[in-house]
Amino acid sequence: MLVELLILILDAAFTVLMSLFVIPKGHGYLYWTPFLLLIAGYIISLVFVWIFMSLFCQIYSKKKTYTKPSKLANFLLRHCVGYINIHARVKLNVIQNEPWPKERFLLVCNHLSRFDPMIVIHKYGKLGMAFITKPSNFKIPIGGHFMKAGCYMAIDREDKLKSLEVMKEASRLIEENLASVGVYPEGTRREVEDHVGEFHEGVFSIAMKNNAPIVVTSIIGSQNIAKNFPWKSTKVRFEIIKVIYPNEYQGKTLKAVSDYARSLIKESIEKGMQ
Instruction: Give the pLDDT score at 23.
Output: 64
Task: For residue 112, give the nearest of 23, 223, 35 by alpha carbon.
Answer: 223
Instruction: Give the pLDDT score at 101.
Output: 96
For the domain 63-272, what is the CATH code?
3.40.1130.10
DSSP characters for 155-178?
--TT-HHHHHHHHHHHHHHHHTTS
Task: For residue 68, give the nearest of 181, 146, 178, 207 by alpha carbon.
Answer: 178
Give Cα separations from 56 to 7, 71, 182, 193 (angstroms): 16, 15, 26, 38
Phi-psi region of 92 (alpha: psi -120 to 50; beta: other; left: phi over 0): beta
* Residue 240 three-state SS: strand
Q: Is the dihedral of CA 47, 49, 52, 53 positive or negative?
A: negative
**Residue ranges covered by each domain of the chain:** 2-57, 63-272
Task: For the chain of 274 residues, list the mean pLDDT of each consecutive stretch of 10.
Answer: 83 78 59 78 91 94 93 95 93 96 96 93 95 92 95 84 90 97 86 76 94 97 91 95 96 95 94 83
Q: How far is it, in rounded angstroms, from Cα 11 to Cα 243?
A: 44
Q: Are 212 and 176 a contacting pair, CB within 8 Å? A: no
Q: How far is it, in rounded angstroms, from Cα 106 to Cα 213?
A: 6
Q: How far is it, in rounded angstroms, from Cα 170 to Cα 238?
A: 24
